[in-house]
């Protein structure tokens, strides 16, 4: 596949685990094949992949297996938590060797104590040394690192390979709008803004300047249909479709453990994964979570929504 800008629905793959916490590579391949069948072009790895529970060697093998399973039909986005510039450079070089096409980079929480300009300078240093395409993940509620719209645009303007931003603070569409407006005033036409936060503000994000979203992987065709409807100027149908899945999105966003369980559970129902196991450390699911989820799926007639979006 040739290099193309990141856009559209970019699901963050969940990590399949066996009962004893080992990575289920059969399930991983099945998930990648599912994405290809859904005509998804980009798949990423991030918080929703439980990367915080993976060792460095494990993550590299996961990415190699994902690239292999995609057989050239998908663009794979790796993942890096940036600590020092020295450690990040070493990890980026190893990530690059797996065959992925982009790396999503988020700063370690210690960067919250540094001046924003130091963070930007470190990212630019990595960009110059490693030369791999990167997408910066702006998720301050997870990292504790606040980066202004002006600093984000300074990063994009000064970088050769960092031309994409995943913007997902609380109320992400507002920052998407701010960054998009400032980018237009500076004529930063090569900037690609991607939304996140489970797709909870996908319509507002697209209207405010994002060119895609990074949701979970369980029902990518629904998000794709919503984006297509917005692009076709049919906001009424887009909102009606979004409203159908809103109870599911709100339930999923209760906490990370619930979000991961929802994604994996739905994928088991869709015969993509064989289990919904999470790897420790993970908080226990609230009692009755599975029953609540089954009730919501039946209430919104989830299977009918999938048929509608084929």
Kindly state whether residue 62 falls inside one of the protein's structural domains: yes
Task: Please name the residues in contact with 274: beta carbons below 8 A apart, sequence gap of 6 or more.
Answer: 16, 24, 26, 27, 268
| Position 242 in a domain | no
In a domain, 261, yes or no: no
Residue numbers of the domain that contains 208: 8-220
Q: Which residues of 244-272 are buried (b: 16+ CB within 10 A; e: fewer)?
A: bbeebbebbeeebebbbbbbbbbbbbeeb
- Listed as ranges, residues in the chain with pLDDT below 50 are 1-2
Q: What local confidence, expressed as pLDDT, does residue 84 receive?
A: 86
Give the β-pairing of 42-44 and 8-9. unpaired
Residue 19 located in a structural domain: yes
**Does residue 101 lie within any of the structural domains?**
yes
- In whole angstroms, give the CA distance from residue 35 to residue 145: 32
Q: Is 274 helix (H, G, I), strand (E, B) or coil?
A: coil
244: in domain? no
Torsion of CA 181, 187, 192, 193, to 10 degrees: -10
CATH of residue 83:
3.20.20.70
- pLDDT of amino acid 273: 98
End-to-end C-alpha distance for the chain, whole angstroms? 25
Would you state the structure tokens that stand for residue 247, as one six-digit string? 């109870």
pTM of the model: 0.94
Residue 120 counted as domain residue:
yes
In 168-299, which ranges are E strands?
A: 192-195, 212-213
Joined together, the tokens standing for residue 263 give 């994604």
Q: How many domains does the chain have?
A: 1
How far is Cα 130 from Cα 230, in angstroms, rounded to an integer?
37
User: For 104-171, where are the alpha helices, taking DSSP H only?
Assistant: 116-130, 140-143, 149-158
pLDDT of residue 1: 41
What 3-state class would DSSP assign to 192? strand
The answer to the question of residue 254 being in a domain is no
The DSSP symbol for 84 reads S
Residue 2 pLDDT: 44
Contact yes or no for 212/4 (Cβ under 8 A): no
| Angle, helix 25-37 to helix 56-70, in steps of 10 degrees | 40
CA–CA dist 202, 227 (Å, integer): 8
Cα separation, 202 vs 172, in Å, equals 9
The answer to whether the bond into 281 is cis (omega within 30° of 0) is: yes
Q: What's the pLDDT score for residue 12?
A: 98
> Which residues, at least 6 apart from 186, have a Cβ–Cβ distance to it below 8 Å?
153, 157
């Amino acid at each position: 596949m040739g290099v193309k800008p990141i856009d559209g629905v970019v699901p963050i793959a969940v990590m399949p685990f066996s009962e004893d916490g080992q990575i289920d590579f059969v399930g991983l391949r099945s998930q990648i094949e599912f994405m290809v069948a859904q005509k998804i072009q980009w798949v990423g790895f991030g918080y929703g992949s439980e990367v915080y529970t993976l060792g460095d060697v494990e993550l590299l093998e996961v990415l190699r297996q994902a690239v292999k399973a995609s057989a050239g039909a998908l663009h794979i986005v790796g993942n890096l938590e940036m600590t020092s510039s020295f450690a990040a450079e070493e990890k980026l070089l190893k990530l690059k060797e797996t065959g992925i096409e982009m790396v999503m980079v988020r700063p370690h929480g210690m960067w919250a104590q540094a001046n924003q300009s130091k963070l930007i300078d470190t990212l630019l240093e990595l960009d110059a040394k490693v030369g791999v395409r990167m997408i910066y993940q702006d998720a301050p509620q997870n990292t504790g690192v606040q980066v202004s719209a002006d600093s984000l645009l300074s990063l994009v303007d000064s970088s050769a390979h960092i031309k994409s931003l995943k913007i997902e603070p609380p109320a992400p569409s507002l920052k998407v709008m701010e960054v998009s407006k400032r980018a237009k005033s500076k004529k930063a036409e090569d900037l690609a803004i991607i939304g996140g936060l489970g797709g909870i503000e996908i319509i507002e994000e697209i209207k405010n300047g994002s060119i895609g979203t990074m949701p979970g992987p369980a029902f990518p065709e629904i998000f794709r249909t919503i984006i297509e409807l917005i692009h076709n100027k049919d906001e009424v149908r887009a909102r009606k479709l979004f409203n159908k899945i809103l109870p599911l999105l709100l339930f999923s966003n209760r906490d990370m453990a619930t979000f991961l369980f929802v994604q994996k559970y739905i994928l088991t129902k869709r015969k993509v994964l064989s289990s919904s196991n999470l790897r420790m450390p993970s908080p226990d699911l609230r009692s009755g979570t599975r029953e609540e989820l089954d009730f919501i799926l039946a209430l919104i007639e989830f299977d009918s929504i999938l048929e509608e979006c084929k």
